């Protein structure tokens, strides 16, 4: 494992690589400690899997463009953390070197073709961003020119010159974003050269990648991550698998190739779904299907219809899974859940909810997908507990020698604990519902409505998890 590194000259101004002041082995220790603090209460946290060469790993690079009045020239680079000030960057230690060179060339061509950079204050100007994606396995390169206007003067000559400077480019697109927004890509898109997409290979599968679709940024570590996910899934060729938040179908297709009986992927992004369907055809996968939809809504509907799966892969965004999704997941009761997370904080929250719904956390494996940053990816295996096997346990309180305070806490004490630790207010009704699930006495007809047809509100998953933790704290479960 390399222990030396070259400090980035814009490390403090940029703010993108929060841990670059640490040598790489120490970064791994920092991330391991963070995962241990957040996830250790759920079980053993395995040693983090780091990179052999933690540099230039990003296969997707985007740069913002602006006119620097002080310097009297167009600049390109990254936004300073939490601002819209551009830090000029020609090369970055985490970004693909080919992509960095292409962006510098585009900046030079703007001057040659007398094209202006976009001005956020006035809403005028031509080029806002350049996005470059490269397939590390195939070498294919996509360049997306994000413009503030559809008018592209000398378009053919510009494209020809860029291809002359970089013959490795396999497709070029113009994306029009004429709105006052912080979003990089707009709705309209035009192919200027090539097929409008690139293809890359991952875990023995080929994937079509468009400008708007999500694809894992670090393909080297993605192989490590997905291999671990497949190991956790224990596919034998018979399993019915759901790939939630499936993107362009990477996890689902890898599962379909490595032992799943049938795979269904669900994704909200329409461009990603199109790519996923095409990817299934590209890989001749006849046991994988993809549909557009919100993962939470889809799973909730499936739960109502009694639909079930043997294994569920879930790879939600940084905010984690929605309460609706987790509730529906518990209702569908898959035997195994493989949770891939990019934020250990939201992962800890979601694991608490699933644990409260009779799932056991079997394995926790951190993977360093983003060296030099504070981000860490984690893959977790959960298995469904057999409710009958885990309820039919005889406890002798005399042998356990519990005091009255240890065996019982008042509703007010539980409320106070949950409020102090989690900042959540819970009602006596919610506490009684969770106690019932645990087989605890709540008193006859406690907090029930006197109306026969009354609809009783159900405890939300986040509050249920917090109450469950309180019951454990007071040694009631």
* Residue positions annotated with a catalytic role: 342
Q: Looking at the chain, how many residues does it have?
A: 477
Contact call for residues 344 and 39 (beta carbons, < 8 A): yes
Structure token digits, residue 445: 């007809």
Q: Count the alpha carbons within 13 Å of 438 in the hemisphere toward its beta carbon.
A: 22
Contact call for residues 287 and 261 (beta carbons, < 8 A): yes
Q: Quick count: other Cβ atoms within 10 Å of Cβ 269?
A: 18
Contact call for residues 66 and 120 (beta carbons, < 8 A): yes
DSSP strands (E only) in 42-154: 60-68, 73-79, 86-88, 127-134, 141-147
Q: Quick count: other Cβ atoms within 10 Å of Cβ 165?
A: 15
Contact call for residues 252 and 243 (beta carbons, < 8 A): yes
Q: How far apart are CA 186 and CA 189, in angstroms?
A: 8
Rg for the chain, CA atoms, rounded: 26
Closest alpha carbon to 142 in 219, 246, 212: 212
């Amino acid at each position: 494992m390399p222990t030396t590194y070259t400090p980035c000259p814009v490390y403090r101004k940029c703010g993108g690589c929060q841990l670059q002041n640490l040598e790489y082995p120490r970064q791994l220790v920092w991330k391991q400690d963070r995962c241990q603090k957040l996830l250790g209460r759920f079980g053993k946290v395995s040693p983090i899997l780091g990179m052999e060469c933690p540099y230039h790993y990003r296969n997707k690079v985007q740069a913002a463009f602006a006119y620097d009045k002080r310097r009297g020239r167009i600049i390109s680079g990254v936004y300073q953390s939490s601002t819209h000030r551009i830090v000029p960057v020609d090369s970055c230690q985490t970004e693909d070197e080919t992509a960095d060179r292409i962006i510098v060339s585009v900046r030079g061509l703007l001057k040659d073709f007398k094209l202006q950079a976009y001005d956020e204050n006035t809403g005028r100007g031509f080029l806002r961003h350049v996005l470059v994606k490269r397939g590390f396995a195939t070498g294919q390169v996509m360049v997306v020119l994000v413009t503030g206007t559809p008018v592209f003067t000398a378009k053919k000559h510009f494209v020809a010159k860029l291809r002359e400077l970089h013959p490795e480019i396999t497709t070029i697109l113009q994306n029009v974003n004429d709105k006052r927004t912080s979003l990089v890509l707009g709705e309209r898109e035009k192919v200027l050269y090539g097929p409008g997409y690139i293809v890359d290979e991952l875990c023995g599968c080929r994937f079509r990648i468009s400008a708007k679709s999500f694809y894992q940024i670090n393909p080297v570590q993605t192989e490590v991550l997905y291999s671990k996910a497949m190991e956790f899934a224990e596919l034998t060729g018979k399993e019915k698998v759901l790939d939630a938040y499936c993107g362009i179908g990477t996890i689902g297709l890898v599962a379909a190739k490595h032992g799943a009986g049938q795979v269904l992927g669900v994704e909200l992004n329409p461009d990603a779904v199109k790519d996923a369907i095409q990817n299934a055809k590209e890989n001749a996968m006849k046991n994988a299907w993809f549909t557009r939809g919100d993962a939470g809504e889809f799973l909730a509907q499936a739960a109502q219809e009694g639909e079930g799966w043997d294994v569920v892969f879930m790879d939600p965004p940084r905010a984690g899974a929605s309460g609706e999704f987790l509730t529906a997941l518990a209702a569908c009761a898959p035997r195994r859940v493989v949770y891939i997370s990019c934020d250990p904080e939201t992962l800890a929250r979601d694991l608490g909810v699933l644990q409260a719904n009779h799932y056991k956390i079997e394995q926790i494996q951190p993977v360093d997908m983003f060296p030099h940053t504070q981000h860490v990816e984690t893959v977790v295996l959960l298995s469904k507990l057999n409710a009958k096997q885990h309820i039919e346990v005889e406890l002798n309180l005399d042998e356990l020698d519990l005091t009255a305070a240890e065996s019982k806490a008042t509703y007010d004490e539980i409320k106070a604990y949950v409020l102090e630790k989690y900042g959540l207010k819970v009602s006596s009704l919610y506490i009684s519902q969770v106690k019932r699930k645990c087989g605890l006495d709540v008193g006859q007809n406690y907090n029930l409505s006197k109306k026969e047809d009354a609809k009783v509100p159900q405890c939300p998953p986040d509050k249920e998890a917090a109450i469950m933790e309180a019951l454990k704290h007071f040694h009631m479960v």
